[in-house]
Amino acid sequence: MPLKLSVELEIRAVTCQGAFLPEKNVYLSVCNLNQYRATECFPPVFPIEIQHTMNFEKVFRNASEPADILELLECYTTKFELIQLVHPEGEILAFYEENTRQFLFPESTLPSSNDKVDREVVMKKIRGFPDLAPKIEFSTQTSIKDIPSSLRMRFVEENLRVLRSALCNQEESNQEKQE
């Protein structure tokens, strides 16, 4: 019953013709499948050659076929942020945000698990960013695999534990209301 989605995101570069950032180093932050990753820091000189691979995995417990995962991915957002190390927390210079289904499967079909999808997207610049908006050059490779039957029981037991806990909490709440 559960299926596991694995995503390999290979970020090659962030480009922005003619841009110069006079301040501190920058890095790229990525949120995909509600998981956060970040690249190392780079000098603020474009093009920024990142050459960094990030892996994301998520188990969809109620998915029985890949089409179920495609539908569920519409509830997720993938976000990139180009952040400069100024101020205590850093300053977001530009970002890119897209529905995760569209991000991973822009052709709206499932590629073979061995296929890499090469893409580039234009980020939205935040006020104060000089010149044109930066572009991210990357590729994604996804696979959807069935969870082995030996692990399925663990998911069933975990789901039962969550349901029991919810029922107990509901019963306690009902008893408190009656008193």
Q: According to the model, what pLDDT value does residue 156 have? A: 57
Q: What's the pTM value of the predicted model, to 2 decimals?
A: 0.78
The parent domain of residue 154 ranges over: 149-178
**For residue 152, pLDDT beyond 60:** no
Assess whether pLDDT exceeds 70 at residue 77. yes
**Is 89 in the same domain as 155?**
no
Which pair of tokens denotes residue 39?
Answer: 């690249």
pLDDT band at 12 (very low <50, low <70, confident <90, very high): very high
Q: Residues of the chain with pLDDT > 70: what percent?
A: 82
pLDDT of the residue at 113: 61
Same-domain status, 60 and 142: yes
CATH number of the domain that residue 21 is part of: 2.60.40.150
Verify that 8 and 83 share a domain, yes or no.
Answer: yes
Token code pair at residue 4:
């596991």
What pLDDT sits at residue 138? 96
Distance of alpha carbon 41 from alpha carbon 162, whole angstroms: 41
Q: For position 134, what pLDDT does the model report? A: 92
Q: How many helices (H) and strands (E) would you count in the chain? A: 3, 9
Give yes or no: residues 128 and 169 share one domain.
Answer: no
DSSP state, 179? -
Q: Structural domain tally of the chain?
A: 2
Within the chain, residue ranges assigned H as helices are: 66-73, 100-104, 149-178
**Same domain, yes or no: 59 and 111:** yes
Average pLDDT value for residue range 12-40: 91
Q: How far is CA 153 from CA 6, 68, 167, in A?
A: 21, 20, 21
CB 14 within 8 A of CB 28: yes
Measured CA to CA, the distance from residue 115 to residue 47 in angstroms comes to 26
Q: Are residues 139 and 171 in the same domain?
A: no
Q: Is the pLDDT of residue 26 over 70?
A: yes
Same domain, 153 and 164: yes
Same domain for 94 and 56: yes
- Same domain (yes/no): 57, 27: yes
Average pLDDT over every residue of 145-168:
67
Residues 41 and 35: their CA atoms lie apart, in Å, by: 19
Instruction: List C-alpha distances in Å: 17 to 25, 129, 132.
Output: 18, 13, 7
pLDDT band at 40 (very low <50, low <70, confident <90, very high): very high
- Are residues 153 and 142 part of one domain? no
Confidence of residue 128 (pLDDT cuts 50, 70, 90): confident
Instruction: Say if residue 122 is in the same domain as residue 58.
Output: yes
Whether residue 142 is found in the same domain as residue 155? no
Measured over the CA atoms of residue 91, residue 53, residue 118 and residue 79, the dihedral's sign is negative
Determine the average pLDDT of the residues in 55-64.
90
Q: 123 by DSSP, 3-state: which? A: coil
